Amino acid sequence: MPEPKPAAPRQNRLGLTVVDYKGGKTTLCAGCGHNAISERILEACFDLGLPPERVAKFSGIGCSSKSPAYFMSRSHSFNAVHGRMPSVATGALLANRTLRGLGVSGDGDTASIGIGQFVHLLRRNVPMVYVIENNGVYGLTKGQFSATADPGSVLKGGAVADLPAVDTCALAIQLGASFVARSFSGDKRQLSALLRGALSHRGTALLDVLSPCVTFNDHEGSTKSFAWVKEHDEPLQEVSYVPALEEIAVEYDPGATVDVTLHDGARLRLKKLEEGYDPRDRSGALSRLLAAQAAGEVLTGLLYADPAAPTLLDRLELVEDPLATLPAARVRPPPSVLEAINASLR
Ligand code: SF4
């Protein structure tokens, strides 16, 4: 009897298979939360049918910032110096607005050395996805506390965090970011939906993902361990991603479901688990985050979204053609323009 033929690999709308979205083999520790996030990013880009060569990956320094090497080898990639990824990404995305920006950073890279750059990326609403792989420690330099470590959290060696933690989501909402979400590397379903939504958003989409460091911060006393996050996870909603062309027909339950429509027509459908929570209410999102912090909860889900907020490209009124492809005649004003400016100043 002839052997049954293996099923052909699934293809996306571009006719590509998952293999076309693969990267190099990970060199991170086995079980590191960052590896699960790389898998979810790869799947989301494949499912959305993003052309890999139209994606630009950016990162800084740290275990997290090595991650872009482990997915989408066919994409552009720039590993910047510590904390300086936002300025590199801003420049690249201004020079070529047709690229889809995807940044991966860590809590140390973002909330300590890079915080000056991070806050300005948020207030400019640079069109990119910014993933923070948040484990509360500097894994690459043997596990010192980072600025997102919760006060009272204990290191393996007994040191106790005694400073207030930087909450990157609260900071982002306060600075006017237009898509802010928190998730957990161990929650495949929620993280996948939020990543798809983030990749369909046109401004800065900040996704803070709790991603335990199994080597230095996964013990009792840590508030960034797998066990602690699982026990204290408070999902705001059940999140589903509805692609642009899919009919909305099912399970609509007024008062319990909110659809956030993204600029390409896709939707994040949020089935509310908590009475009264609306991710379009900025001050409500901030006060809910503060209440969760006080209660020792990890609030996950879509915290805030404003899909219509103007991006940096809108504010600069850039031409549709990528700046990097404009001929000199279009970027250099003729001498008559300079003459007119000089004349107006005389
Ligand atoms: Fe991941 Fe921690 Fe290992 Fe770094 S040290 S790769 S963060 S588990």
| pLDDT tens, residue by residue, 53-106 | 999 999 999 999 999 999 999 999 999 999 999 999 999 999 999 999 999 999
Strand order in the sheet with 257-261: 237-242, 267-272, 257-261
pLDDT of amino acid 254? 47
Tell me the average pLDDT of the chain: 92
Which of 155-159, 198-202, 287-291 has the highest mean predicted lDDT (pLDDT)?
A: 198-202
Is residue 235 within 8 Å of 181, Cβ to Cβ? no
Name the residue at shortest CA distance from atom 1 of ligand 1.
Answer: 32
- Cβ of 313 closer than 6 Å to ligand 1, yes or no, is no
Tokens of 295: 């209660």
The helix or strand, by DSSP H or E, that contains position 192, with its residue range, turns out to be: helix 188-199
Provide the pLDDT confidence category of residue 130 given band limits of 50, 70 and 90. very high
Q: CA–CA separation, 51 vs 62, rounded Å?
A: 27
pLDDT, tens digit, for every residue of 236-257? 989 999 988 765 544 545 456 7
Position 251 scores a pLDDT of 52
Instruction: Please compute the mean of the pLDDT values over residues 260-276 and round it to a whole number.
Output: 84
* CA contacts within 13 A on the Cβ side of 61: 11
Cα 31 to averaged position of ligand 1 atoms, centre (Å): 9
Which segment of 65-79, 183-197, 283-297, 303-317 scores lowest on mean pLDDT? 283-297
3-class state of residue 273 by DSSP: coil
**Whether the CB of 66 sits within 6 Å of ligand 1:** no
**121 CA to centre of ligand 1 in angstroms:** 26
Q: Which two tokens stand for residue 175?
A: 């600075």
| 277 CB near ligand 1 (under 6 Å) | no
Return the half-sphere exposure (C-beta side, CA atoms, 13 A cut-off) of residue 7. 4
The verdict on the CB of residue 216 being under 6 Å from ligand 1 is yes
Residue written as token pair 């896709």: 266
The protein residue with its alpha carbon nearest to ligand 1, atom 5, reads 139
In this prediction, residue 277 carries a pLDDT of 85
Task: Lay out the sheet containing 76-79: strands in order across.
Answer: 76-79, 55-59, 100-106, 128-134, 205-210, 179-184, 298-305, 233-235
Task: Tell the residue nearest (CA) to atom 2 of ligand 1.
Answer: 213
What pLDDT is stored for residue 255 in this prediction? 52
Flag whether pLDDT at 124 surpasses 90.
Answer: yes
Residue 139 Cβ < 6 Å to ligand 1:
yes
For ligand 1, the distance from its centroid to the CA atom of residue 42, given in whole angstroms, is: 20
Q: What is the spatial distance between Cα 247 and Cα 152, in angstroms, rounded to a whole number?
A: 48
Whether ligand 1 lies within 6 angstroms of the CB of 175 is answered as no
Q: If you average pLDDT over residues 46-55, what whole number do you get?
A: 96
Residue 99 sits at φ, ψ, to 5 deg, of -80, 145
Q: So what's the pLDDT on residue 218? A: 93
Q: pLDDT-derived band of residue 5, with 50, 70 and 90 as boundaries?
A: confident
pLDDT grade for 274, boundaries at 50, 70 and 90:
confident
Contact between 108 and 138 (Cβ < 8 Å): yes
Q: What is the pLDDT of residue 239?
A: 93
Supply the residue whose CA is at minimum distance from atom 6 of ligand 1: 28
CA 62 to ligand 1: nearest atom: 4
Residue 178: what pLDDT? 95
Pocket lining: 146 vs ligand 1, CB cutoff 6 Å: no
Q: How far does residue 65's CA lie from ligand 1's centre (Å)?
A: 11
The answer, yes or no, to whether any atom of ligand 1 lies below 6 A from the CB of 36, is no
239 CA to centre of own chain: 16
The CA 103 to ligand 1 mean position distance, Å, reads 19
Going from the C-alpha of 106 to that of each of 133, 164, 165, 279, the distances in angstroms are 5, 18, 14, 25
Amino acid at 197: G
Which residue type sits at 228?
W
> Per residue in 275-302, is it b (16+ CB within 10 Å) or e — as a string?
eebebeebeebbebbeebbeeeebbbbb
